[in-house]
């Protein structure tokens, strides 16, 4: 799946190979054993447990990686390449293990979570042995049906429509209302702000609640962007 802007296909392929390399080396830098994946793992209970990790703010990605490993999903991070608009990807390895790759192109708490859940939506609804990977560029501006479907699903994981439509935060965008809804749902406020910003197409609202510039720095300190050996021999078996 592609979004509103297209990049050099060779750059996309290179990035995808880098993601695959990190997935192959996953056991070396993640102490959490990776379970055997089954599509039945992605339940509302599993997703609710995942969403609750958002309360840890910019420190959530490491916890998320370990949580997903328990369900058989490998989460890896790789910077988007120049002249690309890569946000993330979802793919199946040869043994059927799903891999989610994120770039953190938008370095905010809400963007991390939205892209992550968007890729999980692809895994649940679109990825199969017949379609083994989806690369997402410029998710916010995508008009493709699969992308809109995945984005709608991702939004629902955090804030069900019946809650969203009835809470004043949607209309007011006030900090106190955002904090109230975040508290009620057990989420980080950035996820509420992100939905308000998206609906209004205004990405300046409540700037101090989204952790701008904090997520990538934390991930880098934890080694999540550290390079691995991209030896071509990895892909020749």
Q: Could you read off the pLDDT of 172-195 as tens digits, one per residue?
A: 999 999 999 999 999 999 999 999
149 vs 134: CA distance, rounded Å: 14
pLDDT tens per residue across span 21-80: 999 999 888 888 999 999 999 999 999 999 999 999 999 999 999 999 999 999 999 999
* pLDDT band (50, 70, 90) for residue 158: very high
Q: Tell me the C-alpha distance between 43 and 97, whole Å.
A: 17
pLDDT number for residue 2: 46
The stretch 69-98 carries a mean pLDDT of 95
Comparing 3-12, 162-171, 177-186, 213-222, the range with the smallest average pLDDT is 3-12
In 3D space, the residue among 225, 224, 209, 160 whose CA is nearest the CA of residue 54 turns out to be: 209
pLDDT score of 92 more than 70: yes
Residue pair 158/116 in contact (Cβ under 8 Å)? The answer is no
At residue 237, the pLDDT reads 45
Provide the pLDDT confidence category of residue 232 given band limits of 50, 70 and 90: low
What is the Cα–Cα distance from 147 to 141, expressed in whole angstroms? 9
Q: Which of 99, 105, 187 is nearest to 141 (CA)?
A: 105
- The domain segmentation of the chain, as residue ranges, is 9-158+211-224
């Amino acid at each position: 799946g592609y979004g509103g802007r297209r990049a050099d296909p060779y750059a996309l392929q290179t990035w995808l190979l880098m993601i695959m390399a990190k997935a192959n080396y996953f056991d070396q830098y993640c102490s959490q054993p990776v379970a055997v994946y089954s599509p039945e793992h992605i339940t509302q209970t599993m997703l609710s447990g995942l969403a609750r990790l958002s309360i840890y703010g910019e420190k959530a990605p490491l916890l998320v990686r370990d949580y997903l490993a328990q369900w058989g999903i490998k989460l890896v991070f790789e910077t988007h390449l120049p002249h690309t608009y890569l946000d993330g990807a979802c793919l199946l390895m040869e043994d059927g293990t799903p891999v989610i790759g994120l770039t953190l192109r938008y370095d905010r708490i809400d963007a991390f979570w939205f892209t992550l859940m968007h890729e999980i939506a692809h895994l649940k609804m679109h990825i199969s042995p017949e379609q083994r990977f989806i690369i997402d560029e410029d998710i916010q501006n995508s008009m493709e049906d699969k992308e809109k479907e995945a984005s709608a699903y991702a939004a629902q994981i955090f804030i069900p429509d019946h809650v969203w439509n009835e809470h004043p935060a949607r209309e007011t965008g006030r900090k106190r209302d955002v904090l109230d809804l975040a508290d009620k749902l057990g989420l980080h406020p950035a996820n509420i702000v992100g939905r308000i910003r998206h609906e209004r197409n205004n990405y300046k609202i409540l700037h101090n609640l989204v952790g701008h510039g904090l997520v990538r720095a934390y991930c880098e300190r934890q080694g999540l962007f550290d390079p691995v050996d991209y030896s071509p021999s990895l892909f020749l078996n």
